[in-house]
């Protein structure tokens, strides 16, 4: 479980840094709060600069997983 938690934190951190770097170029911005979570805790996401389509979505998955292996979506 600890390994999964660390993996999730790393994925969020990488996404945060990647999106923050693009923010200065007028691209989409994604922010996660808090930056560290335990399994079962809530994660709040803020995003801007995206087109705002009805089919837009954000996926969170463990480090090392293929991007196609996302979980449930609503």
Q: Residue 57 pairs with which residues in a beta bridge?
A: none
pLDDT at 23: 46
State the pTM of this model. Answer: 0.43
Using CA atoms, how far residue 2 sits from 8, 12, 32, 48, in Å, is: 10, 15, 20, 31
Q: For residue range 12-62, list pLDDT tens digits in order.
A: 766 666 555 544 456 788 888 887 788 888 888 888 887 778 887 777 777
Contact by Cβ (8 Å): 61, 71: yes
Annotated domain spans of the chain: 2-48
């Amino acid at each position: 479980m600890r390994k999964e938690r660390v993996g999730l934190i790393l994925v969020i951190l990488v996404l945060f840094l990647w999106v923050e770097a693009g923010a200065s170029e007028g691209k989409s911005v994604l922010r996660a709060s808090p930056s560290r979570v335990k399994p079962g805790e809530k994660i709040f996401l803020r995003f801007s600069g995206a087109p705002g389509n009805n089919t837009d979505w954000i996926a969170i998955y463990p480090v090392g997983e293929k991007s196609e292996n996302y979980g449930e979506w609503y």
